[in-house]
């Protein structure tokens, strides 16, 4: 791989999709504007989904192109791709900020014809909040499992070749979340490579309350079912979301099913199965949280026991909502 100093750096268009992001958009755009990269080769486009807070006012303070349209994130990206003037597209979430050398560390990898995209490592932005810090430990641990070549990667921080995105048909606008997993699967299915470079740092503003985390994961649950209807092979999981995570909502379904089936006295013995399964899940969560508490030398990671339950419940609820809608005839 040649370094960015050995070749003429390409022009890069960075897309930021926003919606009511006034808490983080300034930090996000400030970091992008401070990237150590030739300013004449950097285009920044904010596509706002009609925010009702101060997101637009903050964004307009920076030298960026701002577009306001009632679009979800994948639709916003598809819209922006039609107007960008670069062959290399950067995606950075509105609740994320990147280090100054992020772009330099990633862009040279795209010199290889077979490489379609590359992403950097993820750390926590708002570490002062214990819930956000715990969520960050889980994310950092999952990303630490990744090898250099991956099946998919989040658009939280990602560089991709525009022509490859267009070749696979762009983003699926029917997936308000999980659209990046879908895109990555289609890209790698074409024989292209997606790479992961942990040394290029991105800092994500994680959810800071249990309620906010549940709402986020509920959307993931809804769209993960849609994703699996579309790509059944993904059920087995990947480096970021493995099969063990995917099966947890089904285990909660089994717990609830055994309990309900055991309501008649003749089947009351099923309650023991329900309690045993729930207890096994709890022990597994405690074991997993203890490992991360030791790894990161922070007892706050024990909050993950609750967050793991919240995530599994949210995914289960989201899956039920989507499945019921699908059976009712909603194929969107």
- pLDDT bin (cut points 50, 70, 90) of residue 5 is very low
Percent of the chain clearing pLDDT 70 (strictly above): 97
The structure tokens listed for 288 are 């997993």
Q: What is the pLDDT of residues 129-175, one digit of tens each?
A: 999 999 999 999 999 999 999 988 889 999 999 999 999 999 999 99
- By CB atoms closer than 10 A (0-12, 13-18, 19+), residue 207 is buried
User: What angle is formed at CA 45 by the lines to CA 42 and CA 50, rounded to 5 degrees?
Assistant: 165
For residues 82-89, give the mean pLDDT.
Answer: 93
Q: How far is CA 52 from CA 15, 28, 68, 69, 139, in A?
A: 20, 19, 11, 12, 30
Report the alpha-carbon distance of residue 219 to residue 319 in Å, rounded: 9
* Secondary structure tally for the chain: helices H, strands E: 11, 9
Check pLDDT > 60 for residue 319: yes
Under a CB-based contact definition with an 8 Å cutoff, are residues 184 and 194 in contact? yes
Beta bridge partners of 242: 237
Q: What is the pLDDT of residues 252-311, one digit of tens each?
A: 999 999 999 999 999 999 999 999 999 999 999 999 999 999 999 999 999 999 999 999
Q: How far is CA 259 from CA 190, 221, 272, in A?
A: 45, 23, 9
pLDDT at 6: 55
Residue by residue, DSSP assigns 152-211 as ---TTEEEEEHHHHHHTTS--TT-SSSHHHHHHHHHHHTT-EEEEEEEEEEEE----SHH
Determine the topology of domain 12-208 in CATH.
Spore Coat Polysaccharide Biosynthesis Protein SpsA; Chain A (3.90.550)
Report the alpha-carbon distance of residue 212 to residue 314 in Å, rounded: 11
């Amino acid at each position: 791989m040649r370094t960015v100093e050995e070749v003429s750096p390409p022009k890069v268009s960075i897309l930021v999709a926003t919606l009511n992001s006034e808490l983080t958009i300034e930090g996000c755009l400030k970091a992008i504007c401070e990237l150590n990269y030739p300013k004449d080769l950097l285009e920044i486009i904010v596509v706002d989904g009609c925010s009702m807070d101060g997101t637009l006012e903050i964004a307009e303070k920076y030298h960026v192109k701002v577009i306001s349209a009632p679009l979800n994130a994948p639709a916003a990206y598809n819209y922006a791709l039609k107007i960008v003037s670069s062959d290399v597209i950067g995606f950075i979430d509105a609740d994320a900020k990147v280090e100054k050398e992020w772009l330099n560390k990633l862009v040279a990898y795209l010199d290889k014809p077979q490489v379609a995209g590359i992403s950097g490592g993820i750390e926590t932005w708002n570490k002062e909040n214990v819930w956000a810090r715990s969520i960050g430990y889980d994310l950092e641990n999952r990303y630490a499992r990744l090898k250099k070549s991956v099946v998919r990667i989040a658009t939280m921080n990602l560089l991709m070749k525009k022509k490859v995105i267009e070749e696979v048909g762009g983003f699926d606008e029917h997936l308000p979340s999980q659209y990046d997993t879908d895109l990555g699967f289609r890209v790698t299915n074409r024989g292209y490579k997606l790479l992961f470079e942990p040394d290029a740092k991105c800092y994500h503003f994680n959810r800071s309350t249990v309620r906010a985390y549940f709402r986020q994961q509920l959307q993931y649950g809804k769209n993960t079912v849609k994703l699996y209807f579309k790509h059944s092979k993904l059920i087995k999981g990947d480096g970021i979301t493995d099969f063990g995570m995917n099966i947890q909502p089904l285990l909660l379904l089994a717990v609830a099913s055994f309990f309900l089936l055991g309501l008649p006295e003749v089947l009351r013995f099923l309650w023991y199965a329900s309690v045993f399964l729930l207890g096994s899940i709890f022990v597994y969560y405690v074991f997993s949280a203890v490992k991360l508490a030791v790894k990161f030398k922070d007892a706050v990671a024990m909050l993950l026991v609750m967050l793991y339950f919240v995530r599994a419940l949210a995914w289960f609820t989201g899956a039920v909502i989507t499945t019921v809608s699908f059976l009712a005839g909603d194929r969107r």
